[in-house]
Amino acid sequence: MDSIINIQKAIDYIEDNIYENLEYSIIAKQAYMSSFHFQKLFSILCGCTVGEYIRNRRLSLSREDVSSTDMKIIDIAFKYGYSTPEGFTRAFYRFYGVTPLAARSGQCLLDSFVKISIQSILEGELGRMKDLSKRGYSVQNNGAIYYTKDMDNTSKWFEDILGWYAGVDARNDEGIGTYGCVLPFPGELVHMKIAEFNGFHMFYGEPDKRVILFTNVNGIDKLYSFVKENGWDEITEIKEQPWGGRTCNVTTIDGSIITFCEPI
């Protein structure tokens, strides 16, 4: 999820410097990305280019100056980065369908182009973002092979009890799941190259009744509470380890065991 957080930081930087001369390379640095990579991910996530976002936000903000102040149009144009009032008027008309003078008359209802929230986009468009603040913990690594004979039921368990994202990707002729993935964040983010694959693969087979995964986690207390609140009692008490970490075990619906560790 770091890439998402960093892209939001870049958007915050744009907002904080909206009246300044914004350079794409400097904006991208706020997200710790190259300018090319940042602009590509921004366009995929936000549905507009960085340049379009800056222009639309400036025009949206200029609406308040046009309709609610006595500022001269030439001064508003300069404030929002236009070299001439004619250039500002043309951009304003393309955006709103009316000239600044017509908007100033107060007889036009102009829409706003609000600041983008990456979290809201993911919740709305992907439709599968859970409330990560409610889950309260984050998984640092994964990589096991998980065997189950009821992939649909297992997927539902991971989603309901651990708050992860799971799905069946392949089935046999009888409709039985033969391959699937379990991820601590939506798979759509992996496809968009926003986050690396950080889950594990499910295959049809006899479940292993042993520890099949040892994974680091931030917020092990939150993990424990989350699992218990979701009605699953097959979780051990958190134990202090001699090497400094804290661990607990969760026995899955298939009888396999996942060991969660929070290093100190």
pLDDT for the residue 42: 86
> DSSP string spanning 110-135?
----PPP-HHHHIIIII-----HHHH
Alpha-helix residue ranges (DSSP H) falling in the chain: 2-16, 24-30, 35-46, 50-68, 73-79, 85-96, 100-104, 118-121, 132-135, 151-157, 187-191, 220-229
Average pLDDT over residues 167-183: 91
Report CA-CA distances (Å) from 165 to 22, 30, 94, 139, 238. Answer: 38, 29, 42, 12, 24
Please say if the pLDDT value at position 209 is more than 50: yes
Please say if the pLDDT value at position 181 is more than 50: yes
Q: Which tens digit of pLDDT belongs to each residue from 190-208?
A: 555 555 667 889 999 999 9
pLDDT for the residue 121: 66
pLDDT for the residue 135: 80
> 40-44, 58-62, 139-143 — which one is most confidently predicted on average?
58-62
Report CA-CA distances (Å) from 264 to 19, 60, 236, 242. Answer: 44, 47, 19, 11
Q: Hey, where are the domains in the chain?
A: 2-104, 133-262
In percent, the amount of the chain with pLDDT more than 90 equals 56
pLDDT for the residue 127: 45
Please say if the pLDDT value at position 228 is more than 70: yes
Given CA atoms 184, 181, 142, 251 in this order, what sign does their dihedral have?
positive
Distance of CA 193 to the CA centre of its chain: 12
Q: Which residues are registered as beta bridge partners of 235?
A: 250
Average pLDDT over residues 6-26: 94
Fold of 133-262: glyoxalase-related enzyme like fold (3.30.1900)
pLDDT for the residue 256: 96
pLDDT for the residue 184: 80
Given CA atoms 124, 118, 2, 244 in this order, what sign does their dihedral have?
negative
CA–CA separation, 135 vs 33, rounded Å? 28
Between 5 and 101, whose confidence is greater?
Answer: 101
Please say if the pLDDT value at position 128 is more than 50: no
pLDDT for the residue 195: 54
Do residues 220 and 200 lie in contact, with contact meaning Cβ atoms separated by under 8 Å?
A: no
Averaged pLDDT score across all residues of the chain: 87
pLDDT for the residue 143: 73
Report CA-CA distances (Å) from 45 to 41, 95, 120, 136. Answer: 6, 22, 11, 24
Helix (H) or strand (E) holding 167: strand 165-171
Per-residue pLDDT band for 126 (boundaries 50, 70, 90) equals very low
Fold of 2-104: Arc Repressor Mutant, subunit A (1.10.10)
Per-residue pLDDT band for 4 (boundaries 50, 70, 90) equals confident
Do residues 180 and 155 lie in contact, with contact meaning Cβ atoms separated by under 8 Å?
A: yes
Q: 0.75 cut: is pTM over it?
A: no
- Burial (0-12, 13-18, 19+ Cβ within 10 Å), 243: exposed
